Amino acid sequence: MKKDLLKDKVEQGLNEIRPFLESDGGNIELISIEKNVVKVKLLGNCVSCSVNQMTLKNGVELTIKKFAPQMTKFNSNM
């Protein structure tokens, strides 16, 4: 898949999960996509939230995989 199309697919996933993060005072930003690894940055209340890794794993990863199933790894910079 072309890099721009892949980025668009990942952004679609982030846009789907973003309202849930925003409702708790948080947000998420795409940092990079390299070799099927998505790197994101959690923002706002997500940074200090005690369940942010669960949100990343069970919310963000699953949502992105709906749009870009070839993504194999997810990292976050907080």
Sequence spans of domains, the chain: 3-77
Mean per-residue pLDDT of the chain? 90
Question: What's the predicted TM-score (pTM) here?
Answer: 0.86
Alpha carbon distances (Å) from 16 to 6, 22, 35, 37:
16, 11, 23, 19
The length of the chain, given as a count of residues? 78
What topology is assigned to 3-77 in CATH? GMP Synthetase; Chain A, domain 3 (3.30.300)
Strand 73-77 versus strand 37-44 pairing type: parallel
Q: What is the pLDDT of residues 17-26, one digit of tens each?
A: 999 999 989 9
